[in-house]
Structure 1
C-alpha cells in the first residue's frame, strides 16, 4: 500500500514538474494551437450550417440518407460551437481553468460527444447505404422514415449518456490532476468509449462498405445485362452515393486516427511530458479540421447538394449583384434625364 501511494505521488510530481520545467514552451504552443482551432471554428460553423439549411429548406433533399447527413452535420457543428472554444480556454492557460474539475470533465465529455456522435452517424450511414445497394427494391420498406427517426433518437441518447456520465461522478479526478482523458476518466469508461466503441464502429463500417463494393463490382456486368434496367439504374445511383459516404468515413479515420493513437506515446519513456502533450494537441487540431472538410466533400461530390448551394447562395448573390447594378444604372439614367430637362428649360 505504501508503495502504491509513493508511486502515485511520484506520478503527480512528474506531471507538475514537467508542465513547469519542460523542454518546450507550452505557453507558446498553447497559443499556436488556440489560434489554429479558432481559425477552424468559423469555417466549421459556416459549412455545417449551410448543410443544415439546405436539408431543411430544400424539399428535394428531404430524404433518409440526407437526414443522416444532417445528423452528422449537427455533430460537426457542435465541434465548432462548443468543443473548440473549451479546448481554446485550456490552451491559453487562463486563470482558474487548469485545475477546474467540472470544466475539465465538460471539455473531455464534449470531445467524446462530438467524436462518438460522428462515429455512430457514419456507422448508421454505412448501414443505410448497405441496404440501398444490396436490397434496392426493398430499401424503402426496410428503412422507413419512422425507423430512421428512431435510429437517430437512440443514437443521440446513447452517445449523450456515454459521454456525459463522468459529470455525474464516475471519474477519477483528484485535486491537482492534469486535465487529460487518461488521467480523469475511469479505466472502464476509457476501455468502452475510447477503445471498444471506436474499434467496433470502425470495424463494422469497414465491413459494410467492403460488402457494398464487393457486391457492386461482382454484379455490375450481370445487372447491366439483365432486362431490369430500373434496378440497375437504382443500384448504380445508390452505389455512387455509397462511394461518397465511404470517402467521408475514410477521411474521419485519417483525421482522427493520430489522436486516438496518441495514448501509446506514454509508453515511450524517452519522450518527455511536454512532447507528448504537444503531439496530442497537434493531433487534436487535425481531428477538429475533419468537421470542416465534410461540407466541402458534399458540395464537390454530391450533385444534389451542389445544385442547392448554387441555387440558394451563389445564384442569389449573383442576382443581388446584378439587381444592384441595374438599380444603379436606372438611377443614373433618371438623374441624367432630369439634368437634361433642367438644362433645356
Structure 2
C-alpha cells in the first residue's frame, strides 16, 4: 500500500511539474487555454446571479414565513447558505483565475483559498444533504417519536457542528499544511497535502454518499411496506397515514436533491484520474476539469428550482413574494411618473407606503 501511494505521488508530481516548466508542455497541446478561460468565466458569471437570487429567495422565505419555521426547513436554509457562498465567493475566485489576471497564479494564499472554497462548497453541501437524509429517516421510520428525537436544540447543535467541522477541514491548508511550491500549478491535486486529499476528497465524500444512500434506501423500503399495509387493511389511522405520506413526499424531494448533487459533482470528483492517461496533454485535462467544475457549481442554482416545482409551501411563498415585489416596482415606477406630471407628493408616497405594507404582510 505504501508503495502504491508513493507511486501515485510521483505520478502527480511529475505531471504538474512537467506542465509548469516554462509553459512548454502547455504549448505542446492543441487547445487555447486563454480562450477557454474566458468561456468558462462567462459561464460562471452567468450562473452566479441566478445562484445568488434563488438561494437568497429561499433564505428570505424561511426567515419571514412563519409556516416555514420547521426543523427540515432549517436544514434547507443551511444548504441554501452553502449554495449562496458558491455564487458570492467561489465563482468570483475561479473567474479571477480563468481570466489569468496579473500575479494571480503565483499568489500562494489566493490559490489555497480558491481550493479551500471548492472543498467548502462541495463538503458543506454534502454534509447538509446527509443531515437532511437523517432527519427524513427519523420522520419516516419513527414518526411518533420524531419531535422527541429531533428537537430544535439538537438540530441547532447539529448544524453548528457541521459548519465548524467543514470549515476546519476545508481551510486547514491556509494554516500551513499544504504542498505548495514556488511555480506550482494552482490545482487541488498539486497544492494540497496528499493525506488531506485522501480524507476530504475521497474518504469524506465516499462516507457521506454511502450513509445517505443507505438512509434513503431504508426510507423507501419502509414507505413501500407501509403502502402495502394500507392496501391490505383499512383500519390504519387516517391522520397518521396522511402524515407519513407527507413525510415520504418530503423525503422524495430531498433524495432528488441528492441525486442531482451526485450527477453534477461526480464528473469533477473523478477528473483526478485523467492525469493517469499519458495520451492526454495537460491542456486537455485542464479544460475537462474546468468544464466539470462549471457543471458542479451550477448545481447551486438547481435546488431553488426543485423546491419551487415540488414543494407546495415554498412555491406559494415564492409566488407571493415575487408578485408583491413586482407590484411594488410597478407602483414605484408609477410614482416617479406622477412626480414628473406634478401629481402631489403626499398621495404618491402614501400609495407606495401602502404597497410596502401589503408586501410585508405576505410574510
TM-score by length of 2: 0.85
**Structure number with larger C-alpha Rg:** 1
Q: 2:225 aligns with which of 212, 218, 224?
A: 218
CA contact (8 A) 2:83 2:121 kept: yes
Shift of the 174–323 alpha-carbon distance from structure 1 to 2, 3 Å rule, reads closer
Q: Unaligned regions of 5+ residues in structure 2, if any? A: 1-8, 344-363
Task: Indicate whether 1:144 and 2:151 are aligned.
Answer: yes
C-alpha distance in structure 2 between counterparts of 1:223 and 1:106, whole Å: 54
How far has the Cα of 1:219 moved from its partner? 1.5
The number of residue pairs the alignment matches comes to: 329
Task: Indicate whether 1:45 and 2:52 are aligned.
Answer: yes
How far has the Cα of 1:311 moved from its partner? 1.5
Residue correspondence of structure 1 range 36-115 to structure 2 within 5 A: 36-115=43-122
Q: 1:181 aligns with which of 179, 188, 194?
A: 188
CA contact (8 A) 2:177 2:193 kept: yes
Shift of the 136–19 alpha-carbon distance from structure 1 to 2, 3 Å rule, reads same
CA contact (8 A) 1:48 1:77 kept: yes
CA contact (8 A) 1:18 1:273 kept: yes
Shift of the 11–55 alpha-carbon distance from structure 1 to 2, 3 Å rule, reads closer
C-alpha distance in structure 1 between counterparts of 2:14 and 2:136, whole Å: 52
Task: Indicate whether 1:227 and 2:236 are aligned.
Answer: yes
TM-score by length of 1: 0.90
C-alpha distance in structure 1 between counterparts of 2:111 and 2:96, whole Å: 10
Shift of the 98–319 alpha-carbon distance from structure 1 to 2, 3 Å rule, reads closer
CA contact (8 A) 1:15 1:273 kept: no
C-alpha distance in structure 2 between counterparts of 1:36 and 1:125, whole Å: 30
Cross-structure match for 1:263: 272
Q: 1:13 aligns with which of 1, 10, 18?
A: 18
How far has the Cα of 1:15 moved from its partner? 3.5
RMSD: 2.4
Cross-structure match for 1:245: 254
How far has the Cα of 1:19 moved from its partner? 2.8
Q: Give CA deviations for 1:112-144 in whole Å, capped at 9, x if unaligned.
A: 001100000000000000000111111101100
